[in-house]
Chain A
C-alpha cells in the first residue's frame, strides 16, 4: 500500500439554529435541543408551512457596518464560522505561505434571499437595489473567506445541492493529498430563501411541524440554514506547528445515482455504492465503522432508501452501530448540511458521544436500525461516516476517524 499525505482537522466553526459556536452547537445537539421554530426571515404566511431552523445569532462583530451592508447573510455566517475555525487552528495568513492555503466551500443559495427582492422589484416595475444582486452567485462566500483571511491558494465552490459541502470537503482533501495545498478552509454556508422554501413546499416535501427522521409518521423535512467550516491540514505540518488535531479526514466517496432528479433509488443500491466507495477511498473495512451520521431528511423516500443503503453496504454491521440524524434538531441546511454534519461527526469521534435523532416516536418497519432515539449516547467511536444525498443523485459520503 502506497503512503499518501494524511489530512487532519485542526479547526471547526459553526453557526446554526442551536448555537453560534461549535461548543454551543455541540452542547445543544447532545441535549436534544430543537432549533426548528416559526420562520421570521420573511413573511411565510402564504406558504404551505411556516417553520424553519433559522440561525439565531451571527457572531460577526469583527465586521464593520459597511462590510455588513455589502455582504449577504450567507457571507456573514460563513465568515463567522471561518473566523472561529481559523482561530482554533491557530492559523494566520501573515505567518503562512498564503499561496498554499486554499478555500473550497459548498454553496447554493448564497445571497439569494436578497437578490430575490431585486427580481420582485423588477417584476413590479421598480428598480430595486442593484447591489443586492452582487452576492447572488454561490461562489461569493468562497471569495469572501479568501479575501478576509488573506488566502491565495486554490479556490472553488461546489454546488451539488444537498451534497455540496460534503463534496467540497472531498475536493479539499484531494487538493492536499495531491500536493496542491497544505491547508484548506472547507465546508459551506447556506441560508434560507424564498426559492428553496417555496420549492420544497411545492414538492410537498416539508413537514409543517418539526421533522421526524426515520419515524413512521414522518411527513417531510424542515428547512434550515447554517455555516460549517473545517480547517483541513496536512498531518506532518499540523504536528510540526503543534496545532490541535481534532480528527482525521480519511477520504470520501462521490458517486451519481443516475436514477432521478429528485427521487432517491428506493433499493438503496446507489447509496450503498457511495458508502462502499468512501470506505475504499479511506482504505478501511465495513467492520471499522462505529457510527453513521445519516442524511436523514425525514422525507418518506429518503429515510427508507438510506436505511436500505446502509444495510446493503454494511451488512450485519448496520444493526450493531448507531445511526442518527441531526436534521431533527437543525433542519436540512441544504448546501451546508454536509459541513455541519461533518463537524458533529468530528465531535462524535473526539468526545465519544453520539447525538440523538429527536422527535422519534413510532418505529417504521422500513427504517429498522438504531437511530439513537431522543437521547444522546456515550459510545466510543473510532471511525464514522457522514452521508449526504442530493437532488440530481449527487451522493457523497465522508469518512472521519479519531486521530492517533
Chain B
C-alpha cells in the first residue's frame, strides 16, 4: 500500500487541510439555513456552501476566470497536497497522475450553456462554457496547471466517489502506472442540481426528516509509492492500509440499507489492512442524514466492534454530503493520524482509522489508514 505525504482542503470549514481538521475537531459546522434567494421553490432548508470562497491569491483573477468553481477548488486543494509533500513534479511528470471523484463537477457550466441554448438559440450558446461542462474538467485543469503527465481520471459513483478514486489511485501505483497520484474529490453546489435533488426527495427539509444537506468543496491527498517516498526522506502523514467495497443491486437513486453489504465493505477494508476491529482506533462514519442508512451503519458498527465503537468524527455533519465528502473524510483521517493528540481510543501503535462511505444505488466503500512510524 502507499503513503500519504501531503493533503489539501478547500471548503467552508477551512482553506487548508490543517484548518479544516482543526475546526472539524472543534465541532464546528458550516451547515446553515438557505437564504431566501437560494431557497426558491425548495422544501430543503439547509446547505453547506463555501460562501466566502475566492481563488485569490493563489490563482490571479484574470486566470481564475478560465476555470469553473470546481476546477478552482481542485487546483487549490491539489496544489496544497503537492506543496506539503514537497514533491517535485517536474522531475518525472509521467509518473504523477490524478484521480478525482465528483457528483457535480461541470454543473455550473452545463446549466449556463443549456440556459442560453434554450432561452436564446443553439447558435448563441457560449463555446467557452462547453469544455467546462465535462465532469473531468477539474482533474484535467489540475493536470494542465501542475503539468502532470500520468494517469488522469474522474470517477462518478454516488457518495463514495472519493474513495473510488482512492482505489483507482492505489491500483495505478501498485500496477506501476504511476509513482504518485493525487487522489480526492470535488463538488460545486448548483441551484439547478439542488432543485433536481429536492424534487426527487433526496434533500432533508421541512417536508422530509430524512435526507442529505448538500455541501461543496475540494479535497486531495498525494498518495506515493512507499519505496520512493521513503527514498525522498519525506515525513508521511499516513499509510493507506486497505480498501473494501460492496455493491447491492438496486435502483440507481434508492438507498439500500443492507447490513450485509455494509459489513462486507468494512470487513473487506479491515482484511486488506490485515487488522481486526480491535486494531481500529478512530472512525469516520458515512452518516449523512439518511436515517435508514445511518441506522443500518450504526448497527453494523456496533456489531463489528462488539458494542465498543471507537470515537467517531462526523465529517458530513460539518460540511454536508456530496461525492466530495469522501475526500474530506480521507483528508481528515490522514491529518488525525499525523496528530499526536488525535482523538484515538488508545495509544497503541500503529493507530488506525476506518472510513465508511456509502451512497445511493447500492454503492458501499470503506478504507483503513494507519499511522507511519
| Residues of A in contact with B (beta carbons under 8 Å apart) | 46-48, 70, 99, 102-103, 107-108, 115-116, 118-120, 122-123, 130-131, 133-140, 142-144, 146-161, 167, 171, 174-175, 177-178, 180, 194-195, 197-204, 254-262, 270, 273, 277, 281, 390-394
CB < 8 Å A-B pair total: 231
Residue in chain B with minimal CB distance to A270: B149
Which of A201, A254, A258, A390 makes the CB contact (< 8 A) with B177?
Answer: A254
List chain B residues, Cβ under 8 A from A136: 196
Contact flag A393-B152 (CB < 8 Å), given A115-B196, A139-B158, A177-B175: yes
List chain A residues, Cβ under 8 A from B141: 261, 392
Contact flag A171-B168 (CB < 8 Å), given A48-B122, A107-B156, A254-B152: yes
List chain A residues, Cβ under 8 A from B125: 198-199, 202
Given contacts A47-B122, A199-B125, 7 further A-B contacts (CB under 8 A): A99-B247, A108-B134, A120-B118, A152-B247, A161-B134, A178-B174, A203-B127
Contact flag A195-B114 (CB < 8 Å), given A46-B123, A131-B200, A258-B147: yes
- Tell me the bound Cα distance from A103 to B131 in angstroms: 28
Contact flag A119-B154 (CB < 8 Å), given A137-B103, A202-B125, A202-B130: no
Say yes or no: A258 contacts B143, CB within 8 Å.
Answer: yes
Contact flag A160-B158 (CB < 8 Å), given A171-B171, A195-B113: no
What 1/0 flags go to B141-181 for Cβ under 8 Å of A? 10110111111111111100000100110011011110000
Say yes or no: A139 contacts B134, CB within 8 Å.
Answer: no
Contact flag A134-B171 (CB < 8 Å), given A107-B156, A154-B247: no
List chain B residues, Cβ under 8 A from A142: 157, 361
List chain B residues, Cβ under 8 A from A171: 153, 168, 171
Pairs A–B under 8 Å by Cβ, sample size 27:
A70-B251, A130-B200, A137-B252, A138-B135, A138-B156, A139-B158, A143-B250, A143-B362, A146-B362, A147-B252, A147-B362, A155-B361, A159-B136, A161-B136, A171-B168, A174-B168, A174-B171, A174-B175, A194-B122, A202-B123, A254-B172, A255-B150, A390-B136, A392-B136, A392-B140, A392-B141, A392-B152
List chain A residues, Cβ under 8 A from B153: 158, 160, 167, 171, 254, 394
Contact flag A133-B199 (CB < 8 Å), given A171-B171, A259-B144, A281-B177: yes
Closest Cβ–Cβ distance, residue A194 to chain B (whole Å): 6
Say yes or no: A392 contacts B94, CB within 8 Å.
Answer: no
Closest Cβ–Cβ distance, residue A254 to chain B (whole Å): 4
Closest Cβ–Cβ distance, residue B119 to chain A (whole Å): 6
Residue in chain A with minimal CB distance to B131: A261
Say yes or no: B249 contacts A147, CB within 8 Å.
Answer: yes
Say yes or no: B246 contacts A99, CB within 8 Å.
Answer: yes
Residue in chain B with minimal CB distance to A128: B199
- Tell me the bound Cα distance from A108 to B156 in angstroms: 10
Say yes or no: A391 contacts B152, CB within 8 Å.
Answer: no
Closest Cβ–Cβ distance, residue A388 to chain B (whole Å): 12
- Tell me the bound Cα distance from A393 to B141 in angstroms: 9
Say yes or no: B114 contacts A119, CB within 8 Å.
Answer: yes
Residue B334, interface by CB 8 Å: no
Residue in chain B with minimal CB distance to A106: B153
List chain B residues, Cβ under 8 A from A204: 127
Which of B119, B121, B164, B251 makes the CB contact (< 8 A) with A156?
Answer: B164
Say yes or no: B152 contacts A133, CB within 8 Å.
Answer: no
Closest Cβ–Cβ distance, residue A92 to chain B (whole Å): 14
List chain B residues, Cβ under 8 A from A139: 156-158, 252, 361
Residue B30, interface by CB 8 Å: no
Say yes or no: B177 contacts A277, CB within 8 Å.
Answer: yes
Which of A155, A255, A258, A394 makes the CB contact (< 8 A) with B363?
Answer: A155
Say yes or no: B137 contacts A195, CB within 8 Å.
Answer: no
Say yes or no: B151 contacts A255, CB within 8 Å.
Answer: yes
List chain B residues, Cβ under 8 A from A177: 175
- Tell me the bound Cα distance from A139 to B127 in angstroms: 26
List chain B residues, Cβ under 8 A from A157: 155-157
Contact flag A392-B134 (CB < 8 Å), given A201-B122, A255-B151, A261-B141: yes
Which of B195, B199, B250 makes the CB contact (< 8 A) with A147?
Answer: B250
Residue B79, interface by CB 8 Å: no
Say yes or no: B144 contacts A260, CB within 8 Å.
Answer: yes
Closest Cβ–Cβ distance, residue B117 to chain A (whole Å): 5
Say yes or no: A146 contacts B249, CB within 8 Å.
Answer: yes
List chain B residues, Cβ under 8 A from A256: 97-98, 140, 143, 148-152
